[in-house]
Amino acid sequence: MNGCVVAGIGTEIGKTVVSAILVEAFAADYWKPVQSGGLDHTDTDEVRSLVSDHVRTFHPEGYRLNLPASPHASAAAEGVTIEKEMLSLPDTDRFLVVELAGGLMVPLNDDLLNIDMVQDWGLPVVLVSSYYLGSINHTLLSIEALRNRHIDISGIIFNGEPVSASRSVILSRSGLDCLLDVPWAEHVDQQFVSACAKEMFRDR
């Protein structure tokens, strides 16, 4: 399987925008295994609206849950248990971008975490980081959790106005590459996503 898992160091970190950039850059398919809340305009809908080529496939979610909460809590509110067997990777010949619902240690049920599924899928992780007080700690802990599971990390994508002191220590301590710096934008649209996608290949 050719693809990656987009994981964030926290909530509201920009995973969906980064996923759209990767879908645009690699002419990829997209899959959100669990959509928790926001069913009127899902992350799949958002990525579809942000990419320029709509020929690619947007695979249906394994679970669509109403409550905007941790997936295990949202599922429990509907009397549903998220089953590992329902979260198998979709079949595709294209590069596949998988966007997690929440961070790596978010529970899907009483026995299953997001990181368990990442390990099971066998795809490398693109880790999305940002610049807020505590982001160094959250980024390095996420990297440590992935490495403890022997999960490959493709690199880090930073999102937002840069803070050089945070960026430099994260990269030096982790030894990972920065795949892209996504600038802050008041409005994110197809043109923004396309420009960021082209930037990924500028020095590669």
Residues 10, 11, 12, 14: what is their CA dihedral angle, to the nearest 10 degrees?
50
Q: Give the residue among 142, 60, 86, 76 at the shortest CA–CA distance from 109.
A: 76
Q: Give the residue among 32, 16, 9, 24 at the shortest CA–CA distance from 193.
A: 24
Interatomic CA distance for residues 32 and 18, integer angstroms: 13
Residue keyed to tokens 């690199």: 155
Q: Is 17 helix (H, G, I), strand (E, B) or coil?
A: helix
Q: Residues of 161-173 as b/e, b for ≥16 C-beta within 10 angstroms? A: eeeeebbeebbee
Catalytic residue, from 15, 32, 84, 198: name it.
32
Q: Does residue 32 have an active-site annotation?
A: yes
Residue 170's Cα: distance from chain center in Å? Answer: 19
**How would you list the strands of the sheet with 3-8, edge to edge?**
58-59, 29-31, 96-99, 3-8, 125-130, 153-159, 178-182
Which residues are the active-site residues?
32
